[in-house]
Structure 1
Amino acid sequence: MTATRHLLVLTLLLGPLGIQAQTPPPPQPAASAPATAASAASAPARPADAPQTNALDRVQVTAAAETDDGLRRRQSIAMSIYGREELDRQGDIDVTDVLKRLPGVSMDGGAPRLRGLGGGYTQILINGEPAPPGFSLDSLAPADVERIEVVSGATAEYPGVAGTINVVLREPPRTQQREWRSNLNYRALQPGGSTAFQWGDRIGALSFVVPLSVSRSAHASDYEQVRLSRTPGGQVQSQAIRGRDEGRSTTAQIAPRLQWKASDWDTINLSAFWQHGQSRNASERSIVALLGTPWATARDEAASEGSSDVKRAAANWVHKQQDGGKVEVKGSWQDTTRDNTLHYDSYRADGRLLVTRETQTDFGEARGALGGRWTQPVADDHTVVAGWDVETRERDELRRVWDFGVERLDSATGIPFAARIGRAAVFVQDDWTISPQWGVQPGLRLEEVRTRSDDGSNTIDNRARVVAPTLHVNYKFDPKGRDQIRASVTRSFKMPDLSALVGRYVLNGNYERTETNTPIAADSAGNPQLQPELSTGFDLRFEHYPASGGVFSVGVFYRQIDDLIRRGVRLESGMAPDITNVPRWVSRPMNIGQASTRGLELEIKGRGEEWLPALFDKDSGVNLRAALNLYRSEVEQVDGPDNRLEAQPPWLSNMGFDWRIPDSGWTVGASLVLQPGYTTNQTDLQVARRSAVRTLDAFAAWKVDRFSQVRVGLTNLLARDNVVASAVEDLDGFSAGSSTRRNTLRAVNASWVVRF
């Protein structure tokens, strides 16, 4: 009876968890060899008065993999995690196609932005490390990625003003895993495609994964541009330009990772990354004078070839302590090289050659980094995390130009440029569980960045130090419930990049150096006196996680930015006499003052019957997702009403669904991204305008069996033209305007995934 009571208690305890305990049949007598089914069946029946011994079967608990929303719910900070389900949803061509559909993420020139803020406000990381210079996320296929982590706002470890996007590459599996993916697509010019193979396994204490991928892509776009300018003397010039850009690229990549569990307390991780790219681009344009003196160039064309290599090796040692603490030491080395050759010809209206030019650019950067992280539980309520990072970058660049076979030598061409960037940071934060309902995470980050450069004539030495405290608070209405509030007060910063600091003069390629350009086609130069932008932020968010899965989130944020960097344009004469002898309009960055931004963020995701029960039946198989983001910003030193931060839209919305059709193996879905057209007053006299964005993608996936799946995706079904305009009114008597309409193309892709 004692064993029976124990079995009853165990069944009552495991019942709510969905785990059943079963009473086993009476045990067989012990034998020298395992009994067969036949011998068990022929065994004599036990006498009725024989004593019985009740034994319990082994109870096996199998835990399902935690969902992305479950991981998000458990984070002590506001972080969204997107794993294989999101990455595989539409069989996308590259990672940027995935990012553009994520809540609160907008794309600008192929670069992702959080809260409409880019240009360094959004921190982009690859495996927790800064992305290499010139590295584009569209060179990564979703098959190469394990997950994408989106951190809203700044933390002591990740100091992004708007937030951080961390792309984590494939990790070693716990069991054998082999996967092959193939993609065929067409966007323009010619078909493109990719193939990727991944082999992962565990051998004793070693686990590894070797992802290998090769891809080829092609793109093309046609554009029309109208330019108008007026000098102080009243001379008016206007041109109409028609052009076409084409590009083809091939990328090969391998990113092996190895994990060795040396003991119960020590783990060593090794990883490598190598990506090689080849590209060929071509462009041509014709120029027709509408008003004023005809332009010297009536037609031009250019062709370029380039190659790039990104190599990276990293090591990481993790030591667990008996008291629950953990020490992590990491180091990495990275080398980035790019080589590009360009041939350019321009012609007069009568067909005679005006300029023939060869340009060769060599770029290299080596980066070394060391860091450490110590996690230590204190009592039962605190977990203190302290860390440090030291980074050094050496950058070399040489641009050589030959006009009619004669090399130009000036401060911008023909002379090597070298720069060294050093960064050191320490941070500390405390995860403090005040009660089952309250959690607090105070933190502090100290960082120093030093930039030194030399172009043969000018030496620049810039040093900046920042102190950035943070405080994150998490409140759960019920410790076992699904509702919580997150709040944070942060101090973060944005360091000026190297191109903004270096005073090197760069000509605008639309105008020859013997001609005076316009304010909307200005030359560019740096400012070695730039200081970091400092941001004070506040975030407040409510999150609800339904029992059926998904999330409902609504939040607000505010940022005040001091020492805002913005480019100003002015007419300069004699600033670069070795490059040009005519007055030229030059754009230089400068710290102009203060700005502020605020916003409302709304996100809904989950089953259709959870959010719209009147439209969807139970177990409909429909999953819905929608997000709406409202943004407002003002730059104090610029007159309104459109004195917003650079390229921040007034609002951004995306919505989508996917439907698992019952008993068919098919899943279909679509996503729509909406963004309005808007105007930005860059200064009191400079205006930029952007057209609305309407992007519709759709997909259909067929699960052939549990090992293979086929997907077909359609991208940019609406294919709206993109229009960008800029204007300058009465800048020292000059006025100018430009409007460019560029077509965008639909794309179709088909992918096949096989696991074996």
Structure 2
Amino acid sequence: MKEFIFLNLRGLLVGFLFTINGWTYASVLTGYVVDESNEPLVGATVILKETNLAAITGLDGSFQIRNIPAGTYTVEVRYIGYSAFKEEISIGDGRLALQVILELDMNQIGEVVITGNAIRGSESQARMIERNALNTMNVVSARSIELSPDVTVAEIIQRISGLSVERNSSGEAQHAIVRGMNKRYNYTLVNGIKIPSPDDRNRYVPLDIFPAQLMERLEVSKSLTAEMEGDAIGGGMNMVMKRAPDQFEFNGDFQLGYSQINLERGFWQYDRSVVDKRSPQQRFGSDYSAEIEDFSTANLVTENVTPIPDFLGSFTIGDRLLDSRLGVMFGASFQNTHRGANSDWYDVTLGRTGSQRVALDDFQERESSTLQQRYAGHLRVDYQLGNNNNLDLYIGRYQFNSFLSREITETTVDGRNFDPENGNLLFKNQLRTRSTFQTISTASLQGSHHLSPALKTHWSAAYSLAENERPDNASFTIIRELRNFENIPGLVDRRNTRRWENHSDRDISLYLNFSYKPAIINERTEIRFGGLFRDRERESYFNRYTFDPVPLTQQMGIDWNTLDEVTFRVNNPRGNTSDPLNFDSYEQIGAAYLMGLLYVSNMEVSFGIRGEKTVQGYFSKVPLEGFRPRAEQDYFDLLPSAGIKYSLNNKTAIRASYYRAINRPGFFEIVDYVLLQDEDFNEAGNPNLKRAIGDNFDLRFEHFPRANEQILVGLFYKNINDPIETV
């Protein structure tokens, strides 16, 4: 039986749904909640005062309350920034429809931030941002996020037109794919500031580390302007985090649930407490020779259990103080989930017999269990210094822990021993356990200042740190044989491994932007200019120990029954810290831009040029013969852009744009190394790897029938020189 329990807390409303045998209610209250312009209000609260029944309006402003006893009730409808609606209704047997029109309450909302007539976080604000944007953009509002089942930013991505997601081994959304392009061709921002990635090899940020409930909106840019950073051939994603509301507000969301696969087959777990985050070399010094006693086997012993229910919870609390000059918003989130997956993996060879036919070498049947834990907390404080100056402080920390247990049965089909009809084949049983700890910590201070009626400036200073720890990644393999349908006692395989990997990516960024209106042509003409400086440092630590059984012929069931009875020797007591994967890398970027904006009749024109100077390099901690101990790339790019938007009417427009962008190699990709993987493929770096340069053309038809509705039809073309691909 599959059971789910959900408890949702919205503002000061607690809603409980009961089904009690013997009570029969036939009456239903339905309706719509709209504003004075007949636009739907998403997320309004509808309450029957004399009962515990309530509803939240959907994306079209509709609501429905079922199982209402016949009688007279007071309906109350509330929505932030609007006057409350109250009306007495009588309900008999059947269905009653209600149309509710809410009016703005200026005394209530005070200094509420409005874009056009759209309240912050609403669907109408999201559509307004899309309509007014200089580039091709899609926006997901906080209201849409609240009403969706999505719990991470990665899951939200798949609801945006033109975007899809790449999933991890558990089937969960993880990385964004913009317009079908590889995930490496986009970047991720938090409040307009780029953040580093905890990924141990790449620049792109895994979006499943961010909880959806802490966002005010998600902005996806499919084209760039000169004021935007230029390394996004595919596009960019900006997570605008929740800021202080205009009056005290508390929101919470708490859920319990179960995964069906864990009920059917159970959940495999290992002892995480014995996993040491430091390798023997890190614990005892670089000259230490590790002994077999330095490695626990407890993290390679798995147990099948029925896990506790999955838990997902988050809350935000905020208010404005000091006559609304000071705004404070605090939020936190915790998710504890158990993911199971069954999958197959095939290893093929091309032209093994001299032909170009694909031949199957072996295949793997995998059974995985992963405990995932996500922690997040953020603080956002803004302060208004008079009417012309504003400061915005943001501090956020996001953590994702993953504990994987994977059992693999690998069957060899290439060889004379493969004869399944007569019960003869060779196969391996392998157990892998992996603990992963990823964190992103970011702090930024931003300021906006009106220096004169025509001149404004905006600046940002940010510090970010992304870390990835994968300690004691362990594997244990047994060689098995089926002979005439009889299982032959298995032998312990050679070169079992234990790996430690630690990576950190530190980013310091400074932004300075100006906007000037010279009153040329008309008062809307605008000139924007500015630049940035970024300094990044990345440290990478890699150490792997290999183990052989001693003696080599230790048969399961004869010489040993449990893993701690197997005797091993450490083949490399000092590990392999001389591996090229132990390196430090760096990157400095300086950029400047100039762009102009013209508004003539029904046409908006933007054009600009951006220059970016990049210095990127690495040096090995322990240089090895045959590998380049250090390398550096130094290059400069001019990135032009232009856009035109022609408005057919106040709801319909056509926009066209062009921009040039680049894609820099990842730090890991330019290191001179060769790695024979414990996984399923080998890899090597390329110090001569060039950046990719792309010319991008966009055309989009936009129609917004209502404030929360959109019809978009787009075309795009991209020409990429020197694309970076894994081969």
Match of residue 449, structure 1, among 614, 636, 639: 614
Cα shift at 1:116: 0.6
Match of residue 267, structure 1, among 390, 401, 410: 390
CA distance in 2, matches of 1:545, 1:304: 48
CA distance in 1, matches of 2:707, 2:582: 61
1:531 aligns to what SS in structure 2?
coil
2:640 equivalent in structure 1: 469
User: Is 1:120 paired with 2:184?
Assistant: yes
1:184 equivalent in structure 2: 256
Opposite residue 334 of structure 1, the aligned amino acid is S
Cα shift at 1:273: 0.9
Aligned ranges 1:494-505 → 2 under 5 Å: 494-505=663-674
Match of residue 68, structure 1, among 104, 126, 130: 126
2:271 equivalent in structure 1: none
CA distance in 2, matches of 1:398, 1:77: 41
Q: Is the alpha carbon distance of 1:334 and 1:441 closer, same or farther for their aligned partners in structure 2, counting shifts above 3 Å?
A: same
Cα shift at 1:321: 2.5
1:378 aligns to what SS in structure 2?
coil
Tell me the alpha carbon deviations over residues 123-155 of structure 1, each in whole angstroms, 9 at most, x when there is no partner: 222222234312421122221111011112222
Q: 1:487·1:541 contact (CA, 8 Å) conserved in 2? A: yes
Tell me the alpha carbon deviations over residues 616-663 of structure 1, each in whole angstroms, 9 at most, x when there is no partner: xxxxxxxxxxxxxxxxxxxxxxxxxxxxxxxxxxxxxxxxxxxxxxxx
Tell me the alpha carbon deviations over residues 413-460 of structure 1, each in whole angstroms, 9 at most, x when there is no partner: 497311111111112221211x23111100111112221111232101
1:100 equivalent in structure 2: 158
Match of residue 438, structure 1, among 563, 588, 603: 603
Match of residue 225, structure 1, among 322, 337, 345: 345
Q: 1:537·1:559 contact (CA, 8 Å) conserved in 2? A: yes
Cα shift at 1:259: 0.5
Opposite residue 609 of structure 2, the aligned amino acid is L
Q: 1:297·1:354 contact (CA, 8 Å) conserved in 2? A: no
Match of residue 150, structure 1, among 207, 220, 229: 220
CA distance in 2, matches of 1:358, 1:548: 57
Match of residue 248, structure 1, among 368, 371, 374: 371
Match of residue 555, structure 1, among 714, 718, 721: 714
User: Is 1:210 paired with 2:330?
Assistant: yes
CA distance in 2, matches of 1:503, 1:79: 39
1:371 equivalent in structure 2: 511
Aligned ranges 1:724-743 → 2 under 5 Å: none
Q: Is the alpha carbon distance of 1:217 and 1:428 closer, same or farther for their aligned partners in structure 2, counting shifts above 3 Å?
A: farther
Tell me the alpha carbon deviations over residues 656-712 of structure 1, each in whole angstroms, 9 at most, x when there is no partner: xxxxxxxxxxxxxxxxxxxxxxxxxxxxxxxxxxxxxxxxxxxxxxxxxxxxxxxxx
CA distance in 2, matches of 1:557, 1:376: 32
2:411 aligns to what SS in structure 1?
strand
Tell me the alpha carbon deviations over residues 250-304 of structure 1, each in whole angstroms, 9 at most, x when there is no partner: 1221110100112222111111111233321111111222231669871111112
Q: Is the alpha carbon distance of 1:540 and 1:170 closer, same or farther for their aligned partners in structure 2, counting shifts above 3 Å?
A: same
User: Is 1:300 paired with 2:439?
Assistant: no
CA distance in 2, matches of 1:464, 1:217: 45
Tell me the alpha carbon deviations over residues 715-753 of structure 1, each in whole angstroms, 9 at most, x when there is no partner: xxxxxxxxxxxxxxxxxxxxxxxxxxxxxxxxxxxxxxx
Opposite residue 388 of structure 2, the aligned amino acid is W
2:286 equivalent in structure 1: none
1:586 equivalent in structure 2: none
CA distance in 2, matches of 1:339, 1:255: 22
Aligned ranges 1:30-45 → 2 under 5 Å: none
User: Is 1:328 paired with 2:458?
Assistant: yes
Alignment gaps of 5+ in structure 1 = 1-15, 19-57, 511-520, 569-756
1:352 aligns to what SS in structure 2?
strand
CA distance in 1, matches of 2:688, 2:678: 26
TM-score (norm 2): 0.65
Q: Is the alpha carbon distance of 1:59 and 1:140 closer, same or farther for their aligned partners in structure 2, counting shifts above 3 Å?
A: closer
CA distance in 1, matches of 2:582, 2:129: 49
CA distance in 1, matches of 2:498, 2:326: 52
CA distance in 1, matches of 2:504, 2:645: 44
2:184 aligns to what SS in structure 1?
coil
Aligned ranges 1:511-660 → 2 under 5 Å: 522-547=681-706, 549-568=708-727
CA distance in 1, matches of 2:345, 2:581: 34
RMSD, aligned α-carbons: 2.7
1:352 equivalent in structure 2: 491
Tell me the alpha carbon deviations over residues 506-549 of structure 1, each in whole angstroms, 9 at most, x when there is no partner: 22324xxxxxxxxxx54211212122211122222222222575
Match of residue 422, structure 1, among 584, 588, 593: 588
Q: Is the alpha carbon distance of 1:394 and 1:550 closer, same or farther for their aligned partners in structure 2, counting shifts above 3 Å?
A: same
Q: 2:411·2:427 contact (CA, 8 Å) conserved in 1? A: no
Q: Is the alpha carbon distance of 1:368 and 1:454 closer, same or farther for their aligned partners in structure 2, counting shifts above 3 Å?
A: same
Q: Is the alpha carbon distance of 1:253 and 1:566 closer, same or farther for their aligned partners in structure 2, counting shifts above 3 Å?
A: closer
Tell me the alpha carbon deviations over residues 134-191 of structure 1, each in whole angstroms, 9 at most, x when there is no partner: 2421122221111011112222133322222212111222222111111223335343
2:156 aligns to what SS in structure 1?
helix
CA distance in 2, matches of 1:152, 1:304: 36
Q: 2:165·2:177 contact (CA, 8 Å) conserved in 1? A: yes
2:92 equivalent in structure 1: none
Q: Is the alpha carbon distance of 1:302 and 1:548 closer, same or farther for their aligned partners in structure 2, counting shifts above 3 Å?
A: closer
Opposite residue 492 of structure 2, the aligned amino acid is L
User: Is 1:343 paired with 2:474?
Assistant: yes
TM-score (norm 1): 0.62
Alignment gaps of 5+ in structure 2 = 1-35, 39-104, 110-116, 168-173, 200-204, 263-306, 418-424, 481-488, 548-569, 624-628
CA distance in 2, matches of 1:230, 1:154: 42
Aligned ranges 1:386-425 → 2 under 5 Å: 386-404=529-547, 405=570, 406-407=572-573, 409-410=575-576, 413=579, 416-425=582-591
2:675 aligns to what SS in structure 1?
coil
Match of residue 168, structure 1, among 240, 244, 265: 240
Cα shift at 1:366: 1.5
Cα shift at 1:336: 2.2
1:315 equivalent in structure 2: 445
Q: How many residues align?
A: 501
CA distance in 2, matches of 1:532, 1:426: 19
Match of residue 315, structure 2, among 190, 197, 200: 197
